[in-house]
Amino acid sequence: MKILTVVGARPQFVKAAAVSRVFSQRGIEEVLLHTGQHFDHNMSQVFFDEMQIPTPKYNLDIHGLTHGAMTGRMLEGIEGVIMQEKPNLVMVYGDTNSTFAGALAAKKLHTRVAHVEAGLRSFNMRMPEEINRILTDRISDWLFCPTENAVENLKLEGFDNIPAMVLNVGDVMQDAALFYSKISQQKSTIASAIELNQTFVLATIHRQENTDSIERLSQIIDGLNLLNKEMQVIVPLHPRTREYINKTSIAPEFTIIDPVGYFDMIELLKRCSLVITDSGGLQKEAFFFAKPCVTLRNETEWVELVENGFNILSGANSYNIYSMSSLMLEGEFEFDVDLYGNGKASEQIADALLNYA
């Protein structure tokens, strides 16, 4: 079996690392294609270096364009690679432009598609990610869901009557977290690179709905500034977000650092007391490392985290961010509930493909 795996953004590198390791163990030939969507060294190459993911055979180097231009160029590039490699199937991860372009290019060439992290829904059609995930799911042949909620979403959309295989395999990000957390302390340099207070908050901001709105971004900065007066707030900042922050009238008072690699992020997660983020992946990683989370959005795909009290939605309101962070810092949580499988998602994916391909 030959699989072409399409990746382009940090969370996809993490997911691919877990699955690629199992593919190698099972003798599955994998060709890796990097669209270039995340191109900065700290957002891209460092993950391949640290996590020992095979260097992509193809790098399309497509980034910094509008959604339409980016997706169009990716379609053209991925199509050429599919025609050259002739894989049995194309595997895509998550909900980025790279995800949808990979799935659409494959389907147009009558190549089967496997979507990892299928069935997630925010029910907010203003999110580019929501459009990407819905369209990718509809044209995929294997839909590997991370939760039972994701399976139920697909059933409600009529997938019982669509010729595709829907499986709840668990979350491949948990596979990666369990594997790499054992070696992160030896690989990470974050503790020596920056001064970490005994108690600190880890925050990230990158989602378009927050960065493209000066009003929302200003409210988030203000909320983090309020919290930082009582507790150190550390923000590994996406280069694009840094540019937007410079356009606001509110100066950050919290600690800004460059984007970090996966091992540094694991160590920050292990050591922090609270996570504040608009990232879907980091919401789950907070749970994997037993940390409460405040999400800077009005909705989340990971509804089970909210339902079980591990996550709370603050939106982009400075008072809500401050007050809900204080509430979560004071809370007591039992993180030993199984929400995302037992760390065997990658094995279940490989088994399904080998048995039914």
| Distance in angstroms (rounded) separating the CA atoms of residues 283 and 120 | 14
| Distance in angstroms (rounded) separating the CA atoms of residues 81 and 83 | 5
Strands 112-116 and 142-145 turn out to be parallel
pLDDT of residue 246: 87
By annotation, the residues acting in catalysis are: 206
pLDDT of residue 261: 86
Residue spans of the domains in the chain: they are 2-171+341-356, 185-330
Let me know if domain 185-330 sits in CATH 1.20.1050.10: no
Residue with tokens 């990000």: 173
pLDDT of residue 152: 97
Quick one: CA dihedral 343, 171, 14, 227, positive or negative?
A: negative
Instruction: State in words which class domain 2-171+341-356 has.
Output: alpha beta
Lay out the sheet containing 165-168: strands in order across: 58-59, 29-34, 2-7, 89-93, 112-116, 142-145, 165-168
pTM for the model stands at 0.88
| Distance in angstroms (rounded) separating the CA atoms of residues 261 and 169 | 27
**Is 2-171+341-356's fold the same as 185-330's?**
yes
Walking along the chain (357 residues) 10 residues at a time, the average pLDDT comes out as: 94 91 95 84 62 85 91 97 98 96 98 98 93 98 97 98 97 94 92 90 94 94 97 92 88 94 94 96 96 97 96 98 98 94 94 88
